[in-house]
């Protein structure tokens, strides 16, 4: 079964606006990661946040993690048309089994 | 630098035919290797992962199998394809540390079973 569920499933915004995507998961994690997928391509890693961290920044990306609520959010500030893609969260479990479990994804469309 | 190659990129196969997708990683040793499947417009489903040669963990009962004949080679196979096997197959690797680090993905193989 899916570990993560993202919402919204789809998001359409104007260039320059901020985009926020949320991810919820079910079990204890070692870390949580966000990935981007352009249509028909492989996934590309964006950012990793460990279970003992609450917030992390990378360029225009800001990720938060609330382990008590088992949720994370990805904020993309000042969005660009090139940010149009699907975004997935992935959780790495604490059991040491090397499994990365992906959520259902958010399809972001940034209108120029 | 590390690279991951996955092929073929696209294939169309009849129901009941065999399948072989291959993935190789260059520029690293002892990687963890993964096969994921993505249905159209959906998330990624973990199919198999491997932490070493000949060590395969299966996540979902199905008519697919995986093998790791060499340290940096991961093969996904089927003896008889089903219509439900259609999808986008992604190979990925990670550094062999327990639960740490990012996944590096190949460009995917799109399989259509007719």
User: Could you tell me if B61 lies within 8 Å of chain A, comparing CB atoms?
Assistant: no
User: Is B102 in contact with A33 (Cβ distance < 8 A)?
Assistant: yes
A-contacting residues in B 1-60 (Cβ below 8 Å): 6, 32, 34, 36, 41-44, 46, 49, 51, 57, 59
DSSP string, B31-83: -EEEEEEE-TTS-EEEEEEEEETTEEEE-S-SSEEEEEEETTEEEEEESS--G
Residue A47 sits at the chain B interface (C-beta within 8 Å): no
CB-CB: which of B44, B90, B98 is closest to A98? B98
Among A30, A98, A104, beta carbon nearest to B32: A98
Secondary structure percentages of chain B, helix, strand, coil, to 5: 5, 55, 40
Q: Please say if the pLDDT value at position A2 is more than 60.
A: no
Q: Which of A42, A90, A93 sits opposite B90 (nearest CB)?
A: A42
pLDDT by 10s per residue, chain B, length 114: 889 999 999 999 999 999 999 999 999 989 999 999 998 878 899 999 999 999 999 988 679 999 999 999 999 999 999 999 999 999 999 987 655 789 999 999 999 999
Residue A5 has pLDDT above 90, yes or no: no
- pLDDT at residue A105 above 50? yes
The whole-number pLDDT of residue A96 equals 64
**Interchain contact A27–B (C-beta under 8 A):** no
Alpha-carbon span A54 to A44, nearest angstrom: 22
pLDDT more than 90, % of chain A: 78
Mean pLDDT, residues A48-54: 94
Nearest to B22 by CA among B4, B3, B38: B4
How many angstroms separate the CA atoms of A96 and B48, rounded? 16
The mean pLDDT of A50-73, rounded to a whole number, is 96
Is A39 within 8 Å of chain B by CB?
A: no
Q: Cβ–Cβ of B108/A31 closer than 8 Å? A: no
Token readout for A85 is 């893609």
Res A98 pLDDT > 90: no
Provide the pLDDT for residue A1.
44
φ and ψ at residue B50, rounded to 5 degrees: -140, 135
What does the buried/exposed string (b/e) look like for A95-108 if buried means 16 or more CB atoms within 10 Å of the residue's CB? eeebbbbbbbbbbb
What pLDDT is recorded for position A71?
A: 96
pLDDT for the residue B42: 81
Nearest to A99 among B6, B46, B105 (CB): B46
DSSP B17: -
Q: Which position has the token pair 């870390």?
A: A31
Mean pLDDT, rounded, for A60-71: 97
Given CA atoms B41, B47, B50, B53 in this order, what sign does their dihedral have?
negative
Give the per-residue pLDDT at B99.
Answer: 56
């Amino acid at each position: 079964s899916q570990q993560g569920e993202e919402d919204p499933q789809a998001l359409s915004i104007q260039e320059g606006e901020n985009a926020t995507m949320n991810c919820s998961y079910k079990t204890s994690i070692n870390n949580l990661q966000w990935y981007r997928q352009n249509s028909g391509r492989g996934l590309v890693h964006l950012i990793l946040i460990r279970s003992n961290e609450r917030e992390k920044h990378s360029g225009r990306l800001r990720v938060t993690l609330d382990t008590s609520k088992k949720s994370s959010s990805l904020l993309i500030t000042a969005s660009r048309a090139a940010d149009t893609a699907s975004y997935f969260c992935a959780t790495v479990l604490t059991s040491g089994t090397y499994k990365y479990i992906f959520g259902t994804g958010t399809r972001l469309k940034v209108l120029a | 630098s590390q690279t991951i190659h996955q092929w073929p990129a696209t294939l169309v196969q009849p129901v009941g035919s065999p399948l072989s997708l291959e993935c190789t990683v260059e520029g690293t040793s002892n990687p963890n290797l993964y096969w994921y499947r993505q249905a159209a417009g959906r998330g990624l489903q973990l199919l198999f992962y491997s932490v070493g040669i000949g060590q395969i963990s299966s996540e979902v009962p199905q008519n697919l199998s995986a093998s790791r004949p060499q340290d940096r080679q991961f093969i996904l196979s089927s003896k008889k394809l089903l219509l439900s096997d259609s999808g986008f197959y992604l190979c990925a690797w990670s550094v062999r540390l327990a639960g740490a680090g990012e996944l590096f993905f190949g460009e995917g193989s799109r399989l259509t079973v007719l």
